[in-house]
Structure 1
Amino acid sequence: RNSTISPENSIPPIPSPPVGGFHRRPLPAPSIGFSTARGKELFKQSIAEHGAEIYFRLAEAFHTQEEPAFCGLGTLVMVLNALEVDPGKIWHNSNWRWYDEHML
């Protein structure tokens, strides 16, 4: 059996990026990227000084908004879940009582 690459079994080409929109805009000064060396230094300092206690609860409840227009709802969902506020409703026909954007 011949294992050479042919058009039938080759990897498809990577599509060109869309013309509109943006991707990974640089942060304006004086903002500091969280994953930069300075951002990591500040985070370590904050942990050492007990100034990042809420970070871990927020990270556990991290939520990415479903739609661009849901930024406020996405933030509220993350905060309510981090603060462990019981929504009093079952989430997505499961056993979990957890906020999501469609419950607000």
Structure 2
Amino acid sequence: MSELREAYESVSSRTCSLHDACDRALAEQTALSTGSQLIKTNLYYFKQAEVIMKKLSVAKLMVTGQSFAAILVSIDDCLTYLRAHPEYKESEVYIAKFEQCLSR
């Protein structure tokens, strides 16, 4: 009976340890997923510079069209975001790129 009790306590202890390890792994996965999503959100504004430059270089772009107005709104959104976050490494460079897009 003593051996059975020791075996039960050993299994119970290992099960608790495994459960704790799973909880820690799940918490880490959640934190990493949240961080990844935050990076994607922040990176969006930097990626828009190239997208907008390509759209502006199209010869058939009508200044009076809806797509041009949407581009201007996008530039304004990106500039607002980057100016709100001057601590980002290349925010000044991208602000200059977006301002250059406005002068085209």
What's the TM-score, normalizing by structure 2?
0.22
Larger RCO: Structure 1 or Structure 2 (Cα < 8 Å, ≥ 6 residues apart)? 2
Larger Rg over CA atoms: 2
What's the TM-score, normalizing by structure 1?
0.22
